[in-house]
A and B are shown apart, each in its own frame.
Chain A
Amino acid sequence: MLSFSLSVSKKSQTKIKEMIFMVAFLAIFFVIVGLFYLVITTSGLKQSFYESSKSGSILLAIKLADSPEMSCGESNCVDTDKLVAFKQHSAYKNFWLVDGIVVKRLYPSENKTIECNVGNYPNCNTYTIKSPSNYSSQDSSYLSLCRIESKNNYLYKKCDLGKIIVYTSREIK
């Protein structure tokens, strides 16, 4: 009688063990699958966060380029005559609440960087409106760099391709 009850109890123990193993195995499997899914989802989130931050950064650069102090009257267009004029005034250094603004001409391009000033304008390619300092990120946007030129006693608008780079201490990871 005793041996019968012992054998039944052992059988039940084995069955309970089997059950525990199976439940544990399934739980671990679903946890791994869940982690796998989370990793995939969060990597997508990171990407979309980065894309959205980048769009915001580009908009900041466009907003600065479209300000009346720089704009040539059209969107995405900077008047380089204005840039040269106000880059001489130190009052403008702290006018924009960013850590640096540089406008560069991309095309036509020279091999070396020539900082623009009243003396060499327009035979130059870089306008440092505010020297970059203590920045952690830089955002840029393409724009037209336009100026008024004259030929055969006629005035005309001459536009090049450029880029505005805005330096900020805002961190985008």
Chain B
Amino acid sequence: MKSINLKNKKAQHEIIGFVIIVVIVAVIGVIFLGIYLRPQPIVQTKDVEINNLLISSSKYTTDCYKDAEPNYRTLEDLVLDCYQFKRCGDGISSCVILNQTYSELLSKVWLTSNFGAVRYYEIKAYYQGNLTDAGTKKPEFFKLESGNFSGCITTKAGQKITSLSNPEESVITELKVCFGS
């Protein structure tokens, strides 16, 4: 009778040991699966290519002129003009020309589609600096976007800083491109 009890106890110990090992293995497996199946956050990286595009496009000579032709404004000048609500020599708003030019230019560089490599892009310009008179200044004054942000896997971004007359103030142009594959 005593030997049967001992045998039962041993068997119980073995079962408990086995169960503990199975539980440990299962927990490790679940942790690894959890890490593997975790939805990847959209990684936004500063990219040399996007920065180059932003720098190169900012030098583009537009049809907007100041005072008289051929004193043409570049896209970089137009960003500042748009921030200061300035108009071109022919009376058209600098923001309109800025929007139109960037829209045409970027559509020649990337064609956004729901199944293509480039899903979405966004260009915006905003004021950054000593905001003592923030009440009268709107931080983001220009924004242009194309495509659909859903389906983004990686996002690459570039930034161009243009200083204003006050060294503490600047206008930042930011380009963000979202790739689906």
B62 closest partner in A (C-beta) = A159
Q: Say yes or no: A58 contacts B69, CB within 8 Å.
A: no
Residues on the B chain within 8 Å of A55, using CB: 48
In Å, the complex CA distance between A74 and B74 comes to 15
B32 within 8 A of A: yes
A50 within 8 A of B: no
B60 within 8 A of A: yes
Number of interface residues of A (CB under 8 A): 36
Contact with A along B64-94 (1 / 0, CB 8 A): 0000111110100000000000000000000
Q: Give the interface residue-count category, chain B.
A: 20 to 34
A81 within 8 A of B: no
Q: Say yes or no: A107 contacts B105, CB within 8 Å.
A: yes
In Å, the complex CA distance between A167 and B49 comes to 17
A173 within 8 A of B: no
Residues on the A chain within 8 Å of B105, using CB: 106-107, 161
Residues on the A chain within 8 Å of B70, using CB: 149-152, 154, 156
Q: Say yes or no: B108 contacts A33, CB within 8 Å.
A: no
Query: What's the minimum C-beta distance from B6 to chain A, rounded to whole angstroms?
Result: 13
Q: Say yes or no: A144 contacts B25, CB within 8 Å.
A: no
Query: What's the minimum C-beta distance from B67 to chain A, rounded to whole angstroms?
Result: 12
A142 within 8 A of B: yes
Given A26-B25, A142-B52, the answer on whether A107 and B109 have CB atoms closer than 8 Å is: yes
Contact with B along A28-63 (1 / 0, CB 8 A): 010001001100100000000000001100110010
Q: Say yes or no: B109 contacts A76, CB within 8 Å.
A: no
Identify A161's interface contact among B29, B60, B68, B71, CB under 8 A: B60
In Å, the complex CA distance between A106 and B29 comes to 52
Given A29-B25, A160-B60, A161-B56, the answer on whether A142 and B49 have CB atoms closer than 8 Å is: yes
In Å, the complex CA distance between A114 and B28 comes to 62
B21 within 8 A of A: yes
Identify A109's interface contact among B36, B59, B71, B108, CB under 8 A: B108
Interface residues of B in 28-43 (CB under 8 A from A): 28-29, 32, 36
Beyond the given A75-B55, A143-B52, A156-B71, could you list 20 further A-B residue pairs with CB under 8 A, ordered by the A residue number?
A29-B25, A37-B32, A58-B49, A76-B52, A76-B55, A106-B105, A106-B108, A107-B104, A142-B49, A142-B53, A142-B57, A144-B60, A149-B70, A152-B70, A156-B72, A159-B59, A159-B61, A160-B61, A161-B108, A161-B109
A-B contact pairs, 7 of them (CB 8 A): A26-B21, A58-B49, A106-B109, A142-B53, A154-B70, A156-B71, A161-B109
